[in-house]
Amino acid sequence: MICGSLAYDTVMVFDGRFKEHILPERIHTLSVSFLVPQLRRNYGGCAGNIAFNLKLLGLDSHVLATVGEDFDPYETWMRRHGLSLQYVTRIPGAFTAQAFITTDLDDNQITAFHPGAMQRAGELEVPTDAGVTLGLVGPDSRDAMLRHAEQFAAAGIPFIFDVGQGLPLFQGSELRRFIEQASWTIVNDYEAGVVEERTGLDAAAIAARGRAYIVTRGAQGSDVHAGGRTIRIPAVAAERVVDPTGAGDAYRAGIIYGLTHGLDWESTGRVASLLGSIKVAHHGTQSHGAAAADFGERFRDAFGYAL
């Protein structure tokens, strides 16, 4: 059960540089307009991305999320790819969450995010009587993340805490509560610094409060702190670096795959690393399906052994 967002990502490319059009001395009266001849609308949101990647690995999952009246195209996409809509709830009069991202030639970004229906996600209940064996609490509305973590914990369902873009919403005491409720905590290296500072817990202390503490480090690989040791997971070089957005969600799907198949952390981390690498080589967060079709062969080529 993946608790988090379903969202549209509208990505635009400005064929210039922001710095050439923004005057530092006039920043207090900023009024600029950029011509963006390139535009893509992607299906995204952390929950949708993770569910999509799990399907590529042969795992079915449910998404627990709220969406708006404009969800029809995304719904068609999910049905086409065999993704469950059983626990996706439409909110009348609302838009589906969406990000509007403008990138310049230096890869600087200006982003506006409209949460829309996601603001009502806290009204949803985790279906604790539906045979759910593993959960994930990902970036969502503040209320939703707090409530869904409590519901998983109360039902005795092990879950992953993935704070992501929700990090600014929580104080140290709340982050500690998440960590203590969760079986696994996963963050990127920047988030790790903030979480450890706000909670006063180092990596070993966070790991000791669950089964593992996982820190991703982009091209430098990732670290799994578990069982009193730190396991270094190597990165897999992407065939080409096209779009890193969504690589973290692909990595999380790989972690879930390893957990559900009883793999050791060395192999679990490598599955996650490889899936993230495949995603980086493609635009959008759910467009790499064909590339993952030969995942087993790619894994053997990358690591020298079969899953």
Instruction: Name the active-site residue from 249, 264, 294, 301.
Output: 249
* pTM (whole model) above 0.85: yes
Domain count, the chain: 1
Which of 46-60, 216-230, 246-260, 282-296 shows the lowest per-residue confidence on average (mean pLDDT)? 282-296
pLDDT, position 244: 85
- The predicted model gives 180-209 an average pLDDT of 97
Q: How far apart are CA 24 and CA 151, in angstroms?
A: 48
Residue 30 in any domain: the answer is no
Please report, as a single letter, which amino acid is at residue 258: G
- Confirm whether 243 is a catalytic residue: no
Q: Are 138 and 49 in contact (CB under 8 A)?
A: no
Please report, as a single letter, which amino acid is at residue 250: A
pLDDT, tens digit (0-9, with 9 covering 90-100), for 22-32: 888 888 888 88
The domain spanning residue 179 has which CATH number? 3.40.1190.20
Residue 26 in any domain: the answer is no
- Residue 30 Ramachandran class (φ > 0 left, ψ -120 to 50 alpha, else beta): beta
- The predicted model gives 152-177 an average pLDDT of 97
Instruction: Look at residues 300, 284, 212 and name the one whose alpha carbon lies nearest to residue 7.
Output: 284
Q: What's the CA angle centered on 84, arms 81 and 89, to 5 degrees?
A: 125
pLDDT, position 30: 85
Query: Quick check: 162 pLDDT over 90?
Result: yes
Residue 307 in any domain: the answer is no
- The predicted model gives 215-226 an average pLDDT of 96
Instruction: Look at residues 164, 143, 170 and name the one whose alpha carbon lies nearest to residue 66.
Output: 143
Residue 27 in any domain: the answer is no
pLDDT, tens digit (0-9, with 9 covering 90-100), for 259-296: 999 999 999 999 999 999 999 999 889 999 988 889 99
Q: How far apart are CA 140 and CA 162, in angstroms?
A: 10
